[in-house]
Amino acid sequence: MAKWAVLFYEEMKDFYSFYVLFLSIVIGLFCLLIDCKTLKKKKLRKEVKICRFLGWTYIVGGILLYIIFKIF
């Protein structure tokens, strides 16, 4: 692996803490529970789909990154 990639990985490993995990889950839940309802009321179906996708991406991605950085 390139030297810059190793340095980037080490920096991300140090940066990604439980606080960042908590923050990403809260953002995902906000998207799913609050933003989606607001967009549904405005009848913006396309934006609701995008908001759901982003909410789940924040939640699942945050958890996966936390696990990856803590294991390796």
Write the pLDDT tens digit of every residue in 42-61.
999 999 999 999 999 999 99
Give the pLDDT confidence score for residue 66 in this predicted structure: 93
What secondary structure does DSSP assign to 5-62, as a single string?
A: HHHHHHHHHHH--HHHHHHHHHHHHHIIIIIHHHHHHTT-HHHHHHHHHHHHHHHHHH
In the structure, what pLDDT confidence band is assigned to residue 9 with cuts at 50, 70 and 90? confident
Per-residue pLDDT tens digits for 11-46: 888 888 999 999 999 999 999 999 999 999 999 999
Give the pLDDT confidence score for residue 37 in this predicted structure: 96
What pTM was estimated for this model as a whole?
0.85
